[in-house]
Each structure stands twice: as structure tokens, then as C-alpha cells.
Structure 1
């Protein structure tokens, strides 16, 4: 008999409606009933649903049966009450922050699991936590506190090449960006690649990760849409401590992207489980959390960390593929996540620190805060400010929606701006025009006690998705 593989659509046909019950059923059948026919497996699952009480003490099937135990569900899923008043949180650059982002942070601080919070000066409205929000909880993780693009990050490689070289070989640099990178929701690399991330054993530990491995192989070394980019530019380094380089000017390759379809699938899957297990009032449902002592919480934490490592691997490949084609040899690297959750000690307590669009800025830690397609970005060194939970902004932050940006500038006007700033743009769209973003220099003024600026990156040749 060939290998039997139940699918989600098979379970939905027999009225298994929640993602958790479907995942449990598929996993249990694959492990313990793999020699039964598909029809026999479905018959067992139908009987469990219709007569769950007969299986609550079953050694193997009790876990599935408990999903249909109404009395148990009611006790475990009673609606969770928010705190009457929000806890205190630090705010940096309040004048730059919209009221809706501020209100989202207030809602986050009304969660009974919230311990500390901070709002960065680039903050703007998001789903769940605002973009630029930092939230510390105790032994719980909020999938939407990390976001859909798990491990979205920055990476900058420095090369000992001057600007005249970049100008002389501009055509080769543009062609490398066109041929060795790819963008967009379904973007894949056309040539074969190898990376240790693809052999990680975690891919075999959950049904979801097993399903996502093929997509991870195809999307390795690609970038997302929206504000994701890969660009060449010039770096002026003021202070090379931590990089082992003298101050001076260098060629830089800067990338901004995350864990692609893999991270988005993980986020959606476990957000649904969190919302089923953690019943919050309607206005707070995006803050549903997973307890790290539960199976689902442990699965998400494992999956989130794998997605973060996969995002780093994507950046590794982007930098490797471009440098190889152009014959460049790296001499320094700075990189950081800005959509992730970490276990950290703050004021003597271990907390889960969610940074959704915020740069880690513990004392001495290097990071990158990028500008727009024409505005300079900054290499920074963290100061470890406890009020910010060792965090800083992850960029300038949007000041207008994508729709408003498209309505506020024409293609001709954008081309004039690019020409004036001596920037070549490949792809991109009006919704990412510089006018859509806050002034990063003013944002940086609001976080001088969070980070020191040790260098600047000036974009020259920028590739983005064709929005």
C-alpha cells in the first residue's frame, strides 16, 4: 500500500473546522495510522467528532477528541478580560507618532500578560502591535506582535571599493541586481543554490514545517514586495569599532527583506490557533497569545526561530550571489532583525520582548536604520536604554498610506527626484516614493539617547519589486 497522506481539504469535508483540529488529525493519522486506508482514517476521525466522549481516555486519540469537548472548551476558552487601564510605556518622538499607533500601544498594554512597553519615533499603525512597537510579556508570545514577515531584517556588507569604481561599472551592478535577485510574493531564484538552513532538522518536526520546506528551497535568496529592497551605495564610516575597519568611505550592499512565504504561513497558522485558544474582546483579537508552556507555544517558538534563521540565510545568499557575479570581496558586515521576539532579561526578570519594526539596541550592539529609496540610512551602535527595552526605530516610518502616496506624486515627479539625488531605481512604485516617509534625520534626533550614529549609507542603485 502506498503512503496515505490526508490533506486539510479532506478534514474540512468531514467538518473539522479549526486549524488546530485539522493539524492534530493529520499528524496523528500520519504517525499512528499510516497503514490504514484513507477511508479508514476518515471513518475514525468522523467517529471521534461525533462521539468524542468515547475517546477522551484513548492513549493516542484523546488529543483530537479534546478538540470537540464542549465543556472543556468552555472552561479553557472563557473570554479574557482586558485590564481597565493600560500600563505605562515609554514613548520616543511623540510628535512623529500618529494617534492610531499610540492607541494601539495603549491597547497592547491592557493585556494581562503585558509587563513593559515602548513606542519608537517611527511608529505607525499596524495589525496588532503598531509598527515601531516594543512589547514585553511573561512566558507568552503574540504571533501578531512579531508580525507576518517573521525575521524581517537589514544586512549591510562593506567592500573596499570607491565611488568612482561604482560609477564606471554601473551597468554591471544594475545587471547583477536584475539577474541575481528576485522580488515579489511568488518570487523564486531560477538557479540552484545550497545553504545549511535547508538541511535543518526542524523542518521535519511539525507538519506545517514539512509542508513549507519546498517553498523555502525555491525562495531562498529572494526578497519580498512593498518596502523591501536590495541596493548598492556608498558608506561613510565615522567609527569602525565593532567592524574592525578604519573610518573612511566604502562601497556598501544593503538589503531589506524577511522570511518570505515561509514566515507568513507560520504567522497565519499560529495566529489562528492563538485566537482559538485565547479569546479576547473583538477589538483586541490581534493580540491573541500562545503560552510558551503549551505545545502550540513551543511549536510557534521553534518555527519562529527557524524562520528568523531562514531570513538570515536569504540575506546570506543575496550578498553571496551579487558579490560572486561582480568579483567583490567583503570586508565587513552589519545585520539585525527588526520583526522578531527574543527571550531577554530586564530588571532581573526574563521576558519575551516583541520588536515589531524596531531595531535591537542593547549597549554596544550594531544595527542599521535605513532611509527611503533616496534618503540616507544610518549604521548605529546601541546605548542600551532600559526605558526603550534596548530598542530603537527600524526606519523613518510611513507618514502616508500607500494609496495616498500614489495619489500624491506622479511617475514624472518621482523620476525628477531620483535624478536630483543621483539614484537609479529598478522596479519600485509610487507607493514607496520618498514623500511617503517621515524625515529620518528628525526621527534620529528623537532617539539620540538610544543609539550613536557611526556611519551613513547613501543609496545609488536600488532594486525593488514592481508594485
Structure 2
């Protein structure tokens, strides 16, 4: 097996001590069957990003996190790179103007969707009319917005074929965040919309019995937020295809901050994956690298090691430098930063040298703050196979100094 077993935690890749400490804490809390770390792991809130915890009958709102069902969608278009390269700068300008990026943004295009008639909105009605109305209004206003942090809309060239792909990465936005914080409040005996006290990154995970009323309500709300995230990524993909004047003939759509009901070894379990992609045999996944690196389409293998991973793999390259380390500390009065290790010039030079037309982004998302995707993929060669390698040619993100509380 390619993984290490460190005090009961299965670890792929090089262990990061702070994330490993969190995984050990998760392994000791609740009815845990197994804790795991994928090769892109790094420290997160309560459960590490790139971390997987398998529970018997329990679900963890803090393990799923604030960006419920954050995920990736990629579609292959009928265009080739020579069709878009001459007008690439103008295309990226159109995408950055047309799609809403950034913290707290509302969509300039009002999107109606059958999701807003979903019966699971009754969960919020049961909590209270005020809570229901506030979250539903927020969800309507933000459907199809991308947010900030590491969330993106990209154009890719497939290596070897020259086919153009459209990809995006984001989640359930403010709706997912308020759902997560609301249920964490309820679990602590506070009002759903109450202000939570300061929380520690290293606090134990919050656990709910899935058979309890609160656990069942959270599970339904989480699934609704998941469908919302998928609807948003579908909308953005359609809008970008329209800008390109293109059609798609193949798509991959997956998410990585979620709790799944699954059966492993003949036992029904809850698998909480935070920043980890499901990889059941034959299952496709879109895994993004940094804006100066490749991304890939993968497929889960039918292998012993994939079973040992509880059918889980990486969701990206994995951060190795914090946002503050990279960009410095922000002075919000002067709107300036100091103490960052990465300059804007370094970032722009690196992205230009990789052949990318960039819109937005700050040094906290520069290629220097991530591992190389190939390195983390090599730790999972027994669990997944790479089907398509994608090289970014256009990257669109929120502008510098946009920090998104909904990012994974």
C-alpha cells in the first residue's frame, strides 16, 4: 500500500504535522471507524482539508465545513485552442465582466430554478419563518456567483488534442455558510441566526447522531445546499459556453465537502470528506491544480488500495503556504498589505510564463502557495487513473484582497 498508517490515521503523501494532529483528534472523537488524509492535506477548521473521517451513525457539520458541496465542473467543448487563442484576452474580459466574482456578491442575472420549490426547504420552515425567508432570499440572489478565495472559472487546453475545456470550482456560497453556522449554533444551544463565539481551528468536530431530529434536519439541509451548488456550477458553465459560442460533448461534475451515506465492507457508514474527491471504481473526477499548473480528469480504480481509501482521493494540489504568508497582513484602513513572501510581479511572471491569460486573483492564490499537482497524484496511482490532462490558458478569479468565508 502507498499510504502510511500513523497512529490509526491512513496518510497518503508527505504528512503535514498540523493536519495530522487534527486528523488524530478527529479519530479520537465520536464513533469513528477510520480517519484518512489524502496527499493534498493541510490544516482546516476542526477537520483537515484533504481529510476523510468515516463514522458509524454520526454526521459532522464542522467536518463538512462552511462551503457545503464545494466542487468542480469541467466540460469539453467543440472548440480547439486555435479557435480561441487569437481572441483569448477579449474572451477573458467578457467572462470576468459577465460572471459575478467576490465576497458577498449577488448575481446580476436573476436565475429562476426548480430548486426553490424543493420540499427540503421545509427544514428551514421548521426552524422558523425568519430563518427560512432570509436563507431563501440569499440563495436566490447568489445563485450562479462564484465567490473568492481559490474559486475560479477557467479555460483549458487538453494536452495532446488541443480541445478547449471550460472548468469551474466553487460551492454553496452564503446559503451553505449560513446553513453550516446555523446548525453549529443549534448543536450548541444557540439560535440558528445567532452570533457564534470565536472558534478554534483545532477544536474537536461537532457531531450529530444521524438518527436524531437535528441530525436528520442537517442531513436534508446539507443535501439541499449540495443541489444548490450544482445548480450554480451548471449555470456558470452554460454562461461561459454562450460567451464562447460553443457546445459541450462531455462533462465531469463532482463535489468534495460533504457527508455521504455509503456501504463499505458490508457496513452502512457516513463518510465525511472535506476537500477530498469520491473515487469509487469508474467514477470520474475533475481535480484542479494551481493557475500555473495542470488540472486533470481522473477515474477511480477497482483496487484494494482504493477500497482502503474508502474510495477517496485528492481534490487539488494542496496548499503549502498560508494566505497571510503569501500576501502579507492586510491593513483594511489603508487597503494595503505588508510582510508577504510573494510579490505581484512574481505571480504575474510565473502565470505569464505558463501561458495563462489571468483576470483577478491575488498573490495568496499564486502558483507558489501550492504543491505541484503531479506530486500529489503520484501518491494515489493505485486508486485513480488520469484520463485527460488540462493546461490552463485563461484563469478568472476574484480580485486581490477578496477573502471569501465560503471557500473550502
Partners of 1:398 and 1:335 in 2: how far apart?
A: 22
Tell me the residue number matched to 1:168: 86
Partners of 1:261 and 1:283 in 2: how far apart?
A: 20
2:123–2:220 Cα contact (<8 Å) kept: no
Tell me the residue number matched to 1:6: none
Q: CA deviation at 1:324?
A: 2.0
Alignment counterpart, residue 222 of structure 1, candidates 131, 140, 145: 145
Q: Deviations over 1:306-347 (max 9, x none)?
A: 000000000010011121233211111001101111000011
Partners of 2:85 and 2:72 in 1: how far apart?
A: 24
Alignment counterpart, residue 271 of structure 1, candidates 180, 184, 196: 184
Tell me the residue number matched to 1:254: 167
Q: Matches of residues 264-413 of structure 1 in structure 2 within 5 Å? A: 264-276=177-189, 285-384=203-302, 385-406=306-327, 407-413=340-346
Greater strand percent: which structure? 2
Aligned: 1:142 with 2:60:
yes
Larger-gyration structure (1/2): 1
2:51–2:276 Cα contact (<8 Å) kept: yes
2:151–2:169 Cα contact (<8 Å) kept: yes
Matched residue SS, 1:359: strand
Alignment counterpart, residue 443 of structure 1, candidates 360, 370, 376: 376
Q: CA deviation at 1:369?
A: 1.2
Alignment counterpart, residue 121 of structure 2, candidates 203, 220, 233: 203
Aligned: 1:424 with 2:357:
yes
2:37–2:51 Cα contact (<8 Å) kept: yes
Q: CA deviation at 1:450?
A: 1.3
Matched residue SS, 1:417: helix
Of 291-300 and 184-193, more deviation after overlay is shown by 184-193
Alignment gaps of 5+ in structure 2: 1-5, 191-199, 328-339, 402-408
Tell me the residue number matched to 1:151: 69
Aligned: 1:185 with 2:103:
yes
Greater helix percent: which structure? 1
1:425–1:461 Cα contact (<8 Å) kept: yes
Q: CA deviation at 1:161?
A: 0.8
Matched positions, count: 366
Partners of 1:263 and 1:152 in 2: how far apart?
A: 9
Q: Which has the higher contact order (CA 8 A, sep 6+)?
A: 2
Partners of 1:436 and 1:232 in 2: how far apart?
A: 21
Q: CA deviation at 1:393?
A: 0.7
Partners of 1:264 and 1:345 in 2: how far apart?
A: 28
Q: Matches of residues 106-145 of structure 1 in structure 2 within 5 Å? A: 106-145=24-63
2:91–2:243 Cα contact (<8 Å) kept: no
Partners of 1:264 and 1:316 in 2: how far apart?
A: 20
Q: CA deviation at 1:98?
A: 1.2
Aligned: 1:235 with 2:158:
yes
Partners of 1:151 and 1:276 in 2: how far apart?
A: 25
The change in CA–CA distance for 1:427 and 1:132 in structure 2 (over 3 A counts) is: same
Matched residue SS, 2:159: strand
Tell me the residue number matched to 2:197: none
Aligned: 1:414 with 2:347:
yes
